[in-house]
Amino acid sequence: MSEAISRRKFLAGAAVAAGGFSAVPARIRGQEDFVPKTVADGIPLVDFHAHLDRVITLEKALEISTKRGVKFGIVEHAGTKENKYPNLISDDEGLLRYMAMLEGKPVYKGIQAEGLDWPTCFSKEVVARLDYVLSDALTFPEKNGRRVRLWLANEVRIDDKQDFMERYTDFNVAVIAREPIDILANPTFLPGFLRNEHDALWTPERMGRIIDAAVKHNVAIEINSGFRLPRLAFLALAKRAGARFSFGSNIHGPDVGKMDYCLEMVKALGLKRADMFSPAPRGKKPIEIRTFA
């Protein structure tokens, strides 16, 4: 893929939606202009990981949202210009324009933060106007400092799998511990040639380090329906540890907002509304209450 093609183009579509859930409407705090469906214990169907592009415009996203009963959290990539994205937001002015575009629409406003240094681009006051911030570990710093995009096969070279996994686990923990974020996105993703070793490489100890950091720093773990991650073993450990969860499709094209895998995991884990992420009010957002370096 070219630099102009982000991880969003990498995702495959989701399968047919899982059944066995109610569709009772429930209002989300401060969002009375849209009533999403609910599942299980009144869990609202919110896709906090939706991107806009040439195909899924804001108007199209709202049409899909209404049709599926899924509320969207719209995110755009944000960080230093070292990160190569077509619509990358790198300063307060750009972030304010982005929020103005979404103002008054029945969506949550978020960003997908890139790199540990993204807070240097923005003022705390402007970031606090967002509903939430999510980040992930897919843009991975190599030992020489070069940023490697793990979803692009031509950028990834791993000579020692165990060494990579230790550094990758450490980086996941750093993303959670050092960035003032609400959600860890795309958790436990692995480059394509390692996926058949997923269960062996993601040991209980490595999973536990990420989960412990998420619980300690009050960062929700995304249940990602695009990659169908994390797997049940990780999520079960996270639930027992008291972690919170969010839904995210990260699917692009007409299948955006399909929550198939998320609903499967709700049922398998017996998740309740209290287990789920909800955006913090002003004054209590991570950018306002956490320190970062």
CA distance 180 to 50: 20
Residues 6+ apart with CB under 8 A from 57: none
pTM over 0.85: yes
Provide block-wise average pLDDT over 10 residues at a time, the chain (293 residues): 45 36 36 79 97 95 96 97 91 98 97 96 98 97 90 91 98 98 98 96 98 98 97 98 98 92 98 97 96 72
Q: Give the chain's length.
A: 293
Secondary structure letter of residue 27 according to DSSP: P
Q: Residue 266: what pLDDT?
A: 98
Q: Which of the four CATH numbers 1.20.210.10, 3.40.710.10, 3.40.50.300, 3.20.20.140 does domain 26-289 have? A: 3.20.20.140
- In angstroms, rounded to a whole number, what is the distance separating the alpha carbons of residues 8 and 248? 12
How far is it, in rounded angstroms, from Cα 251 to Cα 224? 9
CA atoms of 232 and 5, how far apart (whole Å): 30
Torsion angles phi and psi, residue 41, rounded to 5:
-85, 45
Pairing verdict, β 38-39 and 43-44:
antiparallel
How confident is the model at residue 293, as a pLDDT? Answer: 61
Predicted local confidence at residue 22, as pLDDT: 34
